[in-house]
């Protein structure tokens, strides 16, 4: 297949189901794991859907097409517009929701927090917080690993963003963020409907979001007045000290902070929870992970995290909104459509990942899978800024955990996948049992 500006105006749209938009939205939002393989078998690697609120989207399950999308001009493939479903939570200035020059500006300002020097400085902090978290784990009885991983990665990102993770305001912010992010796929309807926000869970979600905003604005105001602002190295302080025309308004700062806080902890926590879910049911791979932890083999530990992200994608697809008509194989995808490179489809492909249903970290050693067939962090100019940080954090957590514990599952049956806002999480929280080695 090839991706190019259309040659024939009469080329057909890609095929897809004819179910009502509301039905397609519910199926896609709540039952994606079962839906996508059926769509791919029936319609192939390019499938058209109608989803609320974007209406017209095209799923892409072909590696070559995805590679071309990521390499395509950012003026044609708008990732920010493609992520607009998140606007009510993240705000219009979020690095995830802006395009072209505004996105380049935001990315430039945030990038120093995740460059090589900054990453080296985070190692001791992540290790310290991980050890403190593991010391609180119950031994010999089942518990939800996902909850503990979320608590840990939230502490880490709070330290990265604010430089500290204590104080009354941050204590309340910690609780408020957990409530804001704990929404189902159906709750997303309320994000885009002021009428629904007057009622029930949608009203409560709006009120929680408003409280988070109040806390963030209070933190920004206090930090602006800090006498040692110029000496601080946390993300907020860095953003407050950028020169001249680069300076951000309080609203822009709020949008970048909430993006880092939510995106910077939830995905890593879920990847670690899925890794523990798989290792608890695979004694041989768990033993190899223990060896790697004891020997400091971070290459293997990173491979464990990568394989968890492949087998259990945290986000099912990434999105780009077309600003002009594009030819996709025999189909024309019109301007205004969303094209969704499907992580789930490609990660489950036997063509690119032999025995795709098997948890096998070794596939990421000695070169790894084919280029373009693993992209949990997106790709191209919009690849996640925190990708390296996420893998570093996961590697350190796995190292410290398996130096201390053996991990088992309270039941052999795998947990189902549950949709939580836009992420795919263990349905029962990745319940595990740990025993001190």
97 vs 256: CA distance, rounded Å = 10
Characterise 214 by phi-psi region: left (phi > 0), alpha (psi -120 to 50), beta (else). alpha
Percent of the chain with pLDDT over 90: 75
Listed residue (279, 274, 349, 345) closest to 312, CA to CA = 274
294 vs 314: CA distance, rounded Å = 28
Q: Tell me the torsion sign for CA atoms 345, 351, 356, 361.
A: negative
Q: CB-side exposure of 234: number of CA atoms within 13 Å?
A: 20
Q: What pLDDT does residue 184 have? A: 62
Element (H, E) at 56: strand 55-60
377 Cβ contact partners less than 8 Å away, ≥ 6 residues apart = 383, 384, 387, 390
* pTM of the predicted model as reported, rounded to 2 decimal places: 0.92
Question: Is the link from the previous residue into 53 a cis peptide, with omega within 30 of 0?
Answer: yes
248 vs 420: CA distance, rounded Å = 31
Q: What pLDDT does residue 53 have? A: 74
Q: What pLDDT does residue 167 have? A: 86
Q: What pLDDT does residue 10 have? A: 46
Q: Average pLDDT of 294-317?
A: 97
Confidence of residue 191 (pLDDT cuts 50, 70, 90): low
Percent of the chain with pLDDT over 70: 95
Count CB atoms within 10 A of the CB of residue 250.
12
Q: What pLDDT does residue 190 have? A: 65
List, in sequence order, the alpha helices (H) in 280-297: 283-295
Residue 192 has pLDDT above 90, yes or no: no
155 vs 265: CA distance, rounded Å = 9
Return the residue matching tokens 């880490």.
156
Count CB atoms within 10 A of the CB of residue 38.
11
CA 289 to chain centre: 24
Q: What pLDDT does residue 304 have? A: 98
Q: What pLDDT does residue 55 have? A: 78
Return the residue matching tokens 């910690």.
174
Element (H, E) at 420: strand 417-420
Task: Find out whether 192 and 88 touch, Cβ atoms under 8 Å.
Answer: yes
Listed residue (269, 254, 158, 246) closest to 210, CA to CA = 254
Residue 99 has pLDDT above 90, yes or no: yes
Which pLDDT tens digit goes with each residue over 393-409?
999 999 999 999 999 99
Count CB atoms within 10 A of the CB of residue 329.
17
Beta strands in 113-186 (DSSP E): 143-144
Q: What pLDDT does residue 6 have? A: 47
Range scoring the smallest mean pLDDT among 3-7, 87-91, 375-379, 407-411 = 3-7
Which pLDDT tens digit goes with each residue over 136-158?
999 999 999 999 999 999 999 99
Tokens linked to 180: 């804001």
Task: Find out whether 342 and 37 touch, Cβ atoms under 8 Å.
Answer: no
217 vs 251: CA distance, rounded Å = 8
DSSP annotation string for 330-370: TEEE-TT-EEEEBHHHHHT-TTTSSSTTS--GGGGSTT-SP
Confidence of residue 30 (pLDDT cuts 50, 70, 90): confident
Q: Average pLDDT of 41-56?
A: 89
- Greater model confidence, 244 or 124: 124
Q: Average pLDDT of 6-34?
A: 81
Task: Find out whether 53 and 192 touch, Cβ atoms under 8 Å.
Answer: yes
Listed residue (211, 151, 205) closest to 182, CA to CA = 205
Q: What pLDDT does residue 4 have? A: 53
Q: How far is CA 425 from CA 21, 99, 266, 305, 390, in A?
A: 25, 29, 10, 15, 17
Confidence of residue 188 (pLDDT cuts 50, 70, 90): low
Q: What pLDDT does residue 1 have? A: 53
Average pLDDT of the residues of the chain: 91
Range scoring the smallest mean pLDDT among 346-350, 422-426, 433-437 = 422-426
CATH topology for 3-436 is Cytochrome p450 (1.10.630)
Residue 186 has pLDDT above 80, yes or no: no
């Amino acid at each position: 297949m090839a991706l190019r500006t259309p040659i024939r105006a009469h080329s057909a749209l890609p095929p897809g189901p004819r179910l009502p938009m509301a039905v397609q939205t519910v199926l896609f939002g709540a039952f994606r794991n079962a839906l996508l393989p059926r769509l791919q078998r029936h319609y192939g690697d390019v499938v058209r859907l109608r989803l609320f609120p974007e209406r017209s989207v095209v799923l892409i399950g072909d590696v070559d097409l995805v590679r071309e999308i990521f390499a395509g001009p950012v003026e044609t493939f708008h990732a920010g517009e493609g992520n607009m479903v998140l606007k009510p939570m993240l705000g219009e200035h979020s690095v995830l929701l802006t395009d072209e020059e505004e996105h380049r500006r935001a990315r430039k300002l945030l990038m120093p927090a995740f460059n090589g020097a900054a990453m080296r400085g985070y190692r001791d902090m992540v290790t310290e917080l991980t050890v403190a978290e593991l010391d609180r784990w119950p031994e010999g009885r089942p518990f939800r690993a996902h909850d503990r991983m979320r608590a840990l990665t939230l502490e880490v990102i709070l330290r990265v963003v604010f430089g500290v993770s204590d104080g009354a305001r941050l204590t309340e912010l910690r609780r408020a963020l957990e409530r804001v992010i704990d929404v189902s796929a159906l709750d997303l309807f309320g994000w885009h409907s002021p009428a629904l926000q007057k009622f029930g869970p949608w009203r409560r979600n709006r009120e929680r979001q408003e409280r988070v905003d109040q806390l963030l604005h209070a933190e920004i105001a206090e930090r602006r007045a800090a006498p040692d602002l110029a000496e601080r190295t946390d993300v907020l302080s860095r953003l407050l000290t950028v020169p001249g025309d680069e300076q951000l308004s309080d609203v822009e700062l709020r949008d970048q902070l909430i993006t880092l806080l939510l995106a910077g902890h939830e995905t890593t926590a879920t990847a670690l929870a899925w890794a523990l879910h798989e290792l608890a049911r695979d004694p041989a791979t768990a033993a190899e992970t223990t060896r790697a932890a004891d020997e400091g083999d971070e290459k293997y530990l990173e491979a464990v995290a990568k394989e968890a992200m492949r087998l259990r994608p945290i986000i099912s697809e990434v999105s780009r909104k077309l600003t002009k008509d594009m030819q996709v194989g025999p189909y024309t995808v019109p301007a205004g459509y969303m094209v969704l490179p499907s992580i789930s489809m490609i990660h489950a492909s036997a063509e690119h990942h032999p025995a795709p249903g098997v948890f096998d970290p070794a596939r990421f050693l000695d070169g790894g899978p084919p280029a373009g067939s693993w992209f949990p962090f997106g790709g191209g100019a919009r690849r996640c800024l925190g990708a390296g940080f996420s893998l570093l954090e996961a590697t350190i957590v796995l190292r410290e955990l398996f130096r201390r514990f053996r991990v088992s599952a309270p039941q052999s049956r795998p947990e189902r996948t549950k949709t939580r806002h836009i992420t795919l999480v263990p349905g029962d929280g990745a319940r595990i049992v740990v025993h001190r080695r």
